[in-house]
């Protein structure tokens, strides 16, 4: 088939999102959602926005939301662009800043959407292999006539943080190109590059409310950068769809961002559970990377990762396994509540007994 499909998509291999089962209740540790509910203030704002005002289009410039984001980061609203999830913001960035004649660099093991966007937008990707311990080799990002650089910090699915001095080296070595820093998981103990936005005009920091704020269902993400770069993102958006963030989402997201105390308390709980779960898995013989994200990336020298994935699923627990070179012996496990992680560790212990 594909009879009427455009040439652009006929050979595309799209991104595969993690499973969202509808048939039974699983302990869902497969898509890095926050186990805790969003801020009550955000939910109140959402309910309040659900009125006859929905007759009207939303503010295309997301003024109130951008003002709240700017205040949270100590930046000006002109340095903020808001979109329908950070996946949309990233897709707009690939269109706004990168051209086919020079390659876009990113790690061989990172968020797979970067490779999908590069292909879809007709760009050349220059894949830079991570070191054997999955740390980011800075040198290769600092050489060559790069058309763009994309770094997930912390990286997915390894959870490893890139030191800020290394990001600065990459920014300074690539003045000819935009450096995108995808901070989807920065809320769980990492150091944000938001403080570098005023100094480096080739930096764009991309953030999401999906992970740290527990609002994956709301679909709000944003970019921080020089006003001229934000204008390029508006140019792409207004060439496709001016109203990507709806009225209710703008109101709820602004309230969530303003409720910093709630947000920090939830993130602290996730980090405490992460430390406890990592220790328990290490005690079972797992190698666990030093994750600064809301997931653990684990490997057991004696066990087959796919078999563990299937065994966990039979016990009602979903985690993520990637059938990709270098990481097919690993599982990515979202940090859930303490109870969920206790159930996970218990199931892992049972499964590992089969390998004795």
Ligand X SMILES: *Cc1c(COP(=O)(O)O)cnc(C)c1O
CB atoms within 10 A of CB 111: 20
Shortest distance, CB of residue 85 to ligand X, whole angstroms?
Answer: 3
Shortest distance, CB of residue 55 to ligand X, whole angstroms?
Answer: 27
Cβ nearer to ligand X, comparing 110 with 146: 110
For 293, the enclosing helix (H) or strand (E) is none
Which residues contact ligand X by CB under 6 A? 32, 85-87, 111, 152, 156, 182, 184, 208, 210, 216, 221
Q: Give dist(CA 330, CA 71) in Å, integer.
A: 39
Shortest distance, CB of residue 207 to ligand X, whole angstroms?
Answer: 8
Shortest distance, CB of residue 114 to ligand X, whole angstroms?
Answer: 9
Cβ nearer to ligand X, comparing 33 with 280: 33
Shortest distance, CB of residue 118 to ligand X, whole angstroms?
Answer: 15
Cβ nearer to ligand X, comparing 85 with 103: 85
Cβ nearer to ligand X, comparing 92 with 111: 111
Name the pairing type of β-strands 178-182 and 148-152.
Answer: parallel
Q: Give dist(CA 94, CA 120) in Å, integer.
A: 10
Q: How many CA atoms lie within 13 A of 17 on its CB side?
A: 8
Structure tokens given for 4: 């009427």
For 312, the enclosing helix (H) or strand (E) is helix 305-314
- Asked whether the beta carbons of 136 and 166 are under 8 A apart, the reply is yes
Cβ nearer to ligand X, comparing 189 with 311: 189
Cβ nearer to ligand X, comparing 207 with 247: 207
Q: Give dist(CA 152, CA 141) in Å, integer.
A: 13
Shortest distance, CB of residue 184 to ligand X, whole angstroms?
Answer: 3
- Judged on CB neighbours under 10 Å (0-12, 13-18, 19+), 332 is buried
Cα-based distances in Å from 155 to 47, 101, 294, 322? 35, 27, 11, 15
Q: Give dist(CA 121, CA 95) in Å, integer.
A: 7
Shortest distance, CB of residue 302 to ligand X, whole angstroms?
Answer: 29
Cβ nearer to ligand X, comparing 216 with 236: 216
Cβ nearer to ligand X, comparing 42 with 352: 42
Rg (CA), the chain: 21
Q: Give dist(CA 80, CA 227) in Å, integer.
A: 8
User: Would you give the end-to-end CA distance of the chain in angstroms?
Assistant: 50
Cβ nearer to ligand X, comparing 156 with 256: 156
Shortest distance, CB of residue 86 to ligand X, whole angstroms?
Answer: 3
Shortest distance, CB of residue 289 to ligand X, whole angstroms?
Answer: 15
Eight-class DSSP state of 136 = P
């Amino acid at each position: 088939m594909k009879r009427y499909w455009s040439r652009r998509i006929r050979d595309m291999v799209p991104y595969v999102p993690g499973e969202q089962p509808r048939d039974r209740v699983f302990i869902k540790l497969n898509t890095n959602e926050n186990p805790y509910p969003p801020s009550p203030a955000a939910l109140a704002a959402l309910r309040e926005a659900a009125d006859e005002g929905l007759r009207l289009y939303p503010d295309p410039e997301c003024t109130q939301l951008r003002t709240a984001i700017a205040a949270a980061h100590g930046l000006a609203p002109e340095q903020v662009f808001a979109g329908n999830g950070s996946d949309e913001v990233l897709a707009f960035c690939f269109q706004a800043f990168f051209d086919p004649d020079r390659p876009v660099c990113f790690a061989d093991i990172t968020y797979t959407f970067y490779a999908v966007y590069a292909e879809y937008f007709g760009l050349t990707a220059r894949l830079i292999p991570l070191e054997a311990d999955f740390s980011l080799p800075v040198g290769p990002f600092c050489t060559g006539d790069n058309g763009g650089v994309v770094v997930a910090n912390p990286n997915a699915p390894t959870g490893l943080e890139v030191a800020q001095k290394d990001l600065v080296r990459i920014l300074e070595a690539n003045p000819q190109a935009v450096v995108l820093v995808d901070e989807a998981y920065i809320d769980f103990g990492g150091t944000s590059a938001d403080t570098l936005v005023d100094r480096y005009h080739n930096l764009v920091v991309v953030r999401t409310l999906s992970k740290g704020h527990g609002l994956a269902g709301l679909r709000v993400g944003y970019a921080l950068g020089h006003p001229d770069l934000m204008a390029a993102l508006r140019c792409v958006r207004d060439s496709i769809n001016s109203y990507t963030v709806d009225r209710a989402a703008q109101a709820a997201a602004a309230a969530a961002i303003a409720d910093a105390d709630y947000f920090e308390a939830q993130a602290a709980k996730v980090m405490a559970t992460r430390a406890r779960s990592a220790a328990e898995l290490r005690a079972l013989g797992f190698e666990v990377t030093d994750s600064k994200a809301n997931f653990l990336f684990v490997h057991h020298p004696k066990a087959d990762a796919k078999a563990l994935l299937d065994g966990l699923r039979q016990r009602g627990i979903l985690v993520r396994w990637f059938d990709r070179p270098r990481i097919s012996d690993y599982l990515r496990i979202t940090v859930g509540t303490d109870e969920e992680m206790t159930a996970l560790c218990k199931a892992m212990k049972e499964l590992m007994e089969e390998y004795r």
